[in-house]
Amino acid sequence: MLIKGKRIAIIGGGPGGLTLARLLQMNGADVKVYERDESEHVRVQGATLDLHEESGLKALAKAGLMDAFKLHYRPGADKIRILDKHATIILDEHSHETSRTFDDAAYRPEIDRGPLRKLLLDSLRSHTVVWDSHVISINTEEDGWRIGFKNGTSVTADLVIAADGANSKIRPLITSVKPFYSGITIVEGAVYNSEAATPRMHALLNNGKIFALGDSKSLIVSSKGDGSLVFYTGCKTDERWWYDSQIDFADKTQVTAWFEKEFAGWDATWLELFTNASANFIPRPQYCMPLDQTWEALPNLTMLGDAAHVMPPYAGEGVNMAMLDALELSECLLNTNYTSIHAAIGAYEKQMRARASEVAGVTLESTDILHSSNAMAFMTQLLEQPNL
């Protein structure tokens, strides 16, 4: 086995990094995951995740974790309501029963990020994840790498995999190719205890998701199993709007005023999200890697997930791509047909780039149309397709 006796460092404890750690540990690898969060008890932000049969679920099955997944996923959370800006329901998946099951390739069951992280963590050997490990440096040392952390510690590894997201500290060592701005900026917010804080929105969600569309803008709301909800506006802006606007996104009053102006004419129902938000808002300019990016493989350094191929979230592929990356990278590293780790990395990266470029192209198309005058027709037609 190529990785026998090798010290493997995975930078980042998201779904992609943890899935890779699980798959490699199942085959006897010496793996550590270095995660910047202080502990596993840090609140996991973000919306629920829909896992796809050909990617995220495929990786979980290979990792022997489907039974655990079925204990923690949220039945019905995949159901969508499409509303216009006046909060009128245009299409409602809750209005009819579906027969989709895990045997249906079109089924995309939802799970919250926290439970997904926990089931992956629980599958690893104790002390696999080293918390409070914020990478600040990585340098070559003999035939491997020395990784330095903000807490003053450092470690060495023979093989390093970057799973540290869109702002990866490792990626610049692999390639100088940078992402481009997609033209859309998201403002993210959250409401805790949504049933009490925003009862009308809570009822509209019905434990699922809402896509509100109008005026070439989007507002996506997602329920979570802990009783909270998260929401995301989508608007066409300049790349540095979040900075040039001088909005203090920690100030609810300022952000609410921006929403009232930017989304003028939208029903007051949507405003409740902002006036009842429970934490700071987060502006997120959306970037995408060039569809033709390429680089020469390195002998002991590679990457997966957003570090390798960040793209906007409007096709729901991010976590699925990261988990499929983990599966394919593990298969290459464990494949005895490759004569070296270098060759295995090269094979993985070639297929990963091709797959990511195809998905990114579709994602950019979806991003554009969801923020156009044709958004409503596009979404209703998409959800009415019987094989979706």
Report the alpha-carbon distance of residue 43 to residue 59 in Å, rounded.
Answer: 24
The residue assigned the tokens 């919250």 is: 112
36 labelled ligand-binding = no
Report the alpha-carbon distance of residue 50 to residue 61 in Å, rounded.
Answer: 15
84 labelled ligand-binding = no
Both tokens of 181, joined, read 């701005």
Burial letters 291-310, b for 16+ CB under 10 A, else e = eebeeebbebbbbbbbbbbb
**Dihedral pair phi/psi, residue 165, rounded to 5°:** 80, -170
DSSP symbol at 68: H
Per-residue H/E/C for 223-279? ECCCCCEEEEEEEECCCCHHHHCCCCCCCHHHHHHHHHHHCCCCCHHHHHHHHCCCC
Contacts of 205 (CB under 8 A, 6+ apart): 81, 194, 221, 222, 223, 229
The residue assigned the tokens 């995975």 is: 10
| 138 in Cβ contact with 170 (< 8 Å) | yes
Report the alpha-carbon distance of residue 5 to residue 229 in Å, rounded.
Answer: 45
Looking only at the bridges linking them, the beta strands covering 282-288 and 180-191 are: antiparallel
N-terminal to C-terminal alpha carbon distance within the chain:
40
284 labelled ligand-binding = no
| Annotated binding-site positions for FAD | 50, 113, 306
| Annotated binding-site positions | 43, 50, 113, 306
| Annotated binding-site positions for NADPH | 43
